[in-house]
Structure 1
């Protein structure tokens, strides 16, 4: 199977502009992500999909293959698709690797691709067991409920499932809660179809684009991982935390 990894690198992030170029132990964040991604054994190549000349120049300087994309694209998935259409059309799977995850474990990418191959689903994505109350009620952490085959039933910023007749501070000891890790492996067909689907009501209210697939009857298989996943850089406080961690 021919599988490529694409890292969408938007310069002007809404919450933390230019974060992908922020210094982390002498390297920009995007370089840390790329260096992790190229260690994944399942990927035949890794491409950074950029939207700015300065990012293009910095990334090519440290050795990355880059593709320039339209800065007006709405989402990272749209950027992934535009980059994908510029490379070899024989690609079987495309892995969307977030550009603000400098601690991503390459083995997670490999596990995701393997799971994609054996399940033959449209999309595969990792999930991790939630073990503390802070994560469960943090709306920035996306939760997911799955069926008996670990296919996603719903993604939400709310704590799901709701447990009736049990105080909310005890929920975590009465059910399995999972958080979503924002990495996706698509079939080329699913990716192409996804970007042409209209945005649905659920995606609009939750601001979660994966709900577009569920609303249109696509299968998203969730791969439960046990590895430490690190964390994404969403704001300057996360960056300071990362700098302390990497020392």
Structure 2
């Protein structure tokens, strides 16, 4: 399959304005993400509605595409970017990999796993999961959970801890069951991306504020692969400080 890697990036952020351009170890954060992605994918673009981000990416030799500002999500931005890139280059892509612009430590293992999901021709959408570590809080609503079928497809995503362990005290849940957290890396067949971008917002999505529930509600299947690589999203300035410390530890 021919993959297109897209990195949606917005300058505006309620908690961290200008986040993609924040300095991380002497480079803008978006450059860390781009270099990790481009090392794996020959076709890689940052998709943004902000000229500052586009200029920064092109300034370090990367590829970027301007998109409109009215998108509800990174998925919608990826759909527009796919159309623009195919129209301008004449290339056709079988699948799109959506790499979060605030994940500067995305690992090659994760990219290999998510693209490997498409070895099964039935895969429409793919994502990653990771087992919660013992020190992590499974009850944290900011860390979405997922439960899978026996053949590795997502049954449901939730901000609540799922499954509910009836008859087990809450402080023993994590010792009694392997809980899976969702890693926000997606890949879609191009034809599927165009279809899901047209879907209206779903009831479950509104309740949980999780976009992927819109796809499940509409009958799409999401294949999940389990990663063992640590992920660290940067949503706030404090997260950036943690990322700098993470880099220092990893370089020792």
TM-score (norm 2): 0.93
Partner of 1:151: 153
Secondary structure at the aligned position of 2:157 is classed as strand
**2:27 is the alignment partner of 1:27:** yes
Q: Which residues of structure 2 form unaligned runs of 5+? A: none
Matched residues in 2 for 1:240 and 1:125: separation? 27
- The structural deviation recorded for 1:39 is 1.5
* Corresponding residue to 1:108 among 102, 107, 110: 110
Matched residues in 1 for 2:175 and 2:118: separation? 31
Kindly report the root-mean-square deviation, in angstroms, between the aligned alpha carbons of the 2 structures: 1.2
Deviates more, 1:1-10 or 1:11-20: 11-20
Show the 5 A alignment for 1:62-141.
62-88=60-86, 90-118=92-120, 120-132=122-134, 134-141=136-143
Secondary structure at the aligned position of 1:197 is classed as coil
- The structural deviation recorded for 1:187 is 0.4
Secondary structure at the aligned position of 1:87 is classed as helix
Q: 1:115 to 1:87 in 2, by over 3 A?
A: same
Partner of 1:232: 233
CA contact (8 A) 1:133 1:172 kept: no
Q: Which residues of structure 1 form unaligned runs of 5+? A: none
Q: Matched residue pairs, number?
A: 244
CA contact (8 A) 1:142 1:180 kept: yes
Matched residues in 1 for 2:137 and 2:37: separation? 26
